[in-house]
Amino acid sequence: MAFNVGLNVVEVDGAGAPAIVGAAVSVGAFNITTRRGVPNRPTRITSFQQFADQFGGFFAAGLGPYLVKGFFDNGGMTAYINRVVSSDATTGAAPASITLQDGGNKDTLTLKTGFRGTADPGAWGNDLFVKIDPSWSAASRILETAAATIQGTPLNATTDMSAFPKLSVRVDEEAAATDISFQASDFADPKKATSAEIRDAINRRTNKLVASLTNDNRLVLTSTGQVASLQKKGTRIQVTADNATLGFSNMANPTRGTLSVIVAGGTSLANTSDFEVGDVVLIDDTSRKATVKLTRINPLTGAVEWTPNVATPNTFNAALTTATNQEFKLTVAQGGTEDANVVETWDHLAMEADLPNYAPSVLNDTLRGSRYLMATDEHSTSGPGADIPKTLAFTRLNPGRDGTPTPNEFIGDSAKHTGLYAFDAYDVQLLCCERTDAAILNAALGYCAQRGDCMFVGSVPEGFTAGGQAVAYGQAFQGKKVYGALYAPWIKIFDPIGVGANPLKWIPPTGHVMGVYARVETARGIWKAPAGDEANLIGALDVEYRLSDAEHTDLVKNGSVNGVRVVPGAGIIVDASRTLSTDTRWLYVNVRLLFNYVKSSLKQGVRWVRQEPNRDTLWNAVKFNSVVPFLMGLWRQGAFGTGTPEQVFTVICDASNNPPEEVDKGNFKLEVYFYPSKPAETIIIIVGQQPSGATTSEA
């Protein structure tokens, strides 16, 4: 940096270490089936309405939407949704589709259900209709090199207009003449009307022509081209008039305007501002047509060039010829063909790949494309303009299908980032799945353990609690250190798409429980166990099976499954907070969540250490300026057990764990230990008798 003579002020970061900012918590990851949505592409949502807009809301064949609704109803703020679909070629998910044909009955454009360029398969598209209409965004007539005009005989100084003779004119080859009438107010004295008054009266009555006067007092009528301008029927360039009083009589051969000549490879157009090179243009004089592709436009002269050459150009009536670019309009409706059902309209689409309005490019645009369809060009051999989809009334797409995903499709592929592994690149802390297959749960628990910053939240299968199978089900997933928890039994909710006056549905409590996690974390902190009276499930109407105290104890202590119970005065609550771990150090949900939070916060908070000089100044900065203040904040909020900071957490970052041999290898080591807060799970109240305090001596 060059310094100026005199005083210079330079801002630097200084020697202070960045403070550690707490990592995100309670972000849900839902690996579920949905009515629609791009498969294996997690999407961030912050409300159930947003979920419904993108994934289609509730549907009878899946539980996923109900879990998401329970999450947001109970305090969830942010979630990532990954749609799981069946990939079976015969019975798996397939998009609804339609292939459009051009005027030559050749396939030209295929439309499939999609979302901004990516396939969105499923039976949801069976309710979509499409309509095709011809369209054009640019039109022009052949350029006049001279306007049509007619000149009358010289008028006297004044003209007797008291009879108010009409002036009949036919402008630009109109089918019928137009009468221009006069009235007394046009003249100071109708018997002595001046030529200027006559001229001004004509100009007030019409915009089809302009009246003017020559130096020798002749009335001149000139076409303005207003009628012809941008009319598909064609340009008409002729002026006729017959009125002896005004100097017009015997007009059998009126003067015509002159036109540019249509040549084989181009012509001059009246208006080229809306055209662009590459446009497919229809040259039309109402009796003959030719389709060409513009290759050059001169906006100053109106000259255009095209390919291929127009055959027998002299057969075109230049006065009736127009040029319009060939486009089409696509209308998409959902649930019917009434105007109220129209969800998208795409006008001025083209089938030329070199144009910005090329239909596949517009519909498949990743930012502004269609939310319902994706397009594929079938490359019709009909040629430019002729490959435009022909007019089509509202037509339903050919049916798609949903299919039923297998457990392996929920689990996914780590190399392809599908299923569970679709969340690899996302910062999520709570993972769930609508299915309870043992293979899926084992894979989900393994995935969370591998990540080290996420916890699986699951449930036992429907009916297992009442049937006494829940304990054995939970035991199958127990381990020394497990990144997950199970809940039982299922809960009853109101079903918005159910049948009857009061439709109800049984669902896993998973989504509601994850929402409770988020709500308790917001209100009390990540270290508070998400259980107890304040952990009530909003939206739950009943439980599938009401656990007794003894059954709940057996479920929790032997099966590591947390009970969802009806508690008088509290409602339907989560009544335990065990993980599937058997090691007492990792027994509780809040301990697992707290450790995940601390690990993620430290991982993000010390990224600045990379490539810094690995010596005592760095070690001290990390320990005393970053980590200790972060842990002190948690201690003050009650995240750790009873004791002073020195008693409940330890930070080691010095020469003892960063010896020279490790420093030489480029290794930097930070050790953090803490004693987490544990929940009061079992309440012991001792009630007994004691002897009276009175003595005989006091009597």
pLDDT given at position 122: 95
Cβ–Cβ < 8 Å for 670, 694: no
Asked if omega into 489 is within 30° of 0 (cis), the reply is yes
Percent of the chain scored above 70 by pLDDT? Answer: 93
Tell me which residue of 568, 571, 573, 561 sits closest to 519, measured CA to CA. Answer: 573
pLDDT in tens, 425-441: 999 999 999 999 999 99
Report how far residue 64's alpha carbon sits from residue 72's, in angstroms, rounded to the nearest whole number. Answer: 13
pLDDT in tens, 585-614: 999 999 999 999 999 999 999 999 999 999
273 pLDDT more than 50:
yes
Q: How confident is the model at residue 229 (pLDDT cuts 50, 70, 90)?
A: very low
Q: Which of 24-38, 456-470, 508-522, 673-687 has the lowest mean pLDDT?
A: 673-687
pLDDT given at position 240: 67
Q: Could you tell me if 169 and 228 lie in one domain? A: yes
Last residue of a domain, one of 553, 576, 591: 591
Q: What is the mean predicted confidence (pLDDT) over 157-184?
A: 84
Is residue 242, in this structure, part of any structural domain at all?
yes
Percent of the chain scored above 90 by pLDDT? Answer: 74
Is residue 597, in this structure, part of any structural domain at all?
no
27 pLDDT more than 50:
yes
Q: Could you tell me if 420 and 552 lie in one domain? A: yes
Q: Could you tell me if 472 and 350 lie in one domain? A: no
Is residue 3, in this structure, part of any structural domain at all?
no
Is residue 691, in this structure, part of any structural domain at all?
yes
Last residue of a domain, one of 300, 325, 350: 325
Report how far residue 527's alpha carbon sits from residue 678's, in angstroms, rounded to the nearest whole number. Answer: 8
1 pLDDT more than 80:
no
pLDDT in tens, 147-156: 778 888 899 9
Query: Which single residue is written with the structure tokens 């690995």?
Result: 614
695 pLDDT more than 90:
no
Q: How confident is the model at residue 490 (pLDDT cuts 50, 70, 90)?
A: very high
Q: Which of 140-144, 268-272, 299-303, 309-313 has the lowest mean pLDDT?
A: 309-313
Q: Which of 59-73, 203-217, 436-450 has the lowest mean pLDDT?
A: 203-217
646 pLDDT more than 50:
yes
CB proximity list for 275: less than 8 A, separation 6 or greater: 138, 140, 269, 281, 294, 297, 304, 323, 325
Q: CB neighbours (10 Å) of residue 83?
A: 29
pLDDT given at position 28: 97
Query: Whole-prediction pTM value?
Result: 0.82
Cβ–Cβ < 8 Å for 141, 269: yes
Q: Could you tell me if 164 and 246 lie in one domain? A: yes
Is residue 178, in this structure, part of any structural domain at all?
yes
Q: What is the mean predicted confidence (pLDDT) over 492-507?
A: 93
Q: What is the mean predicted confidence (pLDDT) over 70-88?
A: 97
Amino acid at site 42: P
Q: Which of 47-61, 160-174, 200-214, 223-237 has the lowest mean pLDDT?
A: 223-237
Outline where DSSP puts E strands in 66-192: 79-83, 97-101, 107-115, 118-119, 128-135, 139-141, 144-146, 149-151, 158-159, 167-171, 178-180
Is residue 147, in this structure, part of any structural domain at all?
yes
Q: What is the mean predicted confidence (pLDDT) over 289-305?
A: 89
565 pLDDT more than 90:
yes
pLDDT given at position 681: 79
Cβ–Cβ < 8 Å for 651, 623: yes
475 pLDDT more than 80:
yes
Is residue 69, in this structure, part of any structural domain at all?
yes
Report how far residue 63's alpha carbon sits from residue 56's, in angstroms, rounded to the nearest whole number. Answer: 13
Cβ–Cβ < 8 Å for 431, 457: yes
DSSP state, residue 530:
S
Q: How many residues does the chain have?
A: 699
Q: Could you tell me if 170 and 264 lie in one domain? A: yes
Distances (CA, A) of 271 to 238, 302, 350: 20, 7, 20
pLDDT given at position 446: 97
Q: What is the mean predicted confidence (pLDDT) over 141-161?
A: 83
SS3 content of the chain, % helix, strand, coil (to 5): 25, 25, 50
Q: Could you tell me if 144 and 132 lie in one domain? A: no
Q: Could you tell me if 148 and 295 lie in one domain? A: yes
Q: What is the mean predicted confidence (pLDDT) over 50-78?
A: 96
H helices of 287-437, in order, are: 359-363, 407-411
For 497-529, b/e burial (b = at least 16 CB within 10 A) is eeeeeeeebbbbbbbbbbbbbbbbbeeebbbbb
Question: 232 vs 203, which has greater pLDDT?
Answer: 203
Amino acid at site 385: G
Helices and strands of the chain, counted as H and E runs = 14, 37
State both tokens at 691.
């002897």
End-to-end Cα, the chain, rounded Å: 98
424 pLDDT more than 80:
yes
Q: What is the mean predicted confidence (pLDDT) over 482-487?
A: 98
Last residue of a domain, one of 350, 373, 396: 396
182 pLDDT more than 90:
yes
State both tokens at 324.
């319009």
- Mean residue pLDDT of the chain comes to 91
Q: Could you tell me if 32 and 114 lie in one domain? A: no
Read off the CATH number of the domain in which 489 is found. 3.40.50.11780
Is residue 369, in this structure, part of any structural domain at all?
yes
Q: Could you tell me if 527 and 574 lie in one domain? A: yes
pLDDT in tens, 311-357: 766 677 776 788 899 999 999 999 999 999 999 999 999 999 999 99
Question: 260 vs 532, which has greater pLDDT?
Answer: 532
Q: Could you tell me if 444 and 580 lie in one domain? A: yes
Q: Could you tell me if 452 and 584 lie in one domain? A: yes
Q: CB neighbours (10 Å) of residue 570?
A: 14
Task: Count up the domains in the chain and report the number.
Answer: 4
481 pLDDT more than 50:
yes
Rg of the chain over all Cα atoms, to the nearest angstrom? 41
Q: Could you tell me if 504 and 650 lie in one domain? A: no
Residue 354 domain boundaries: 97-136+333-396
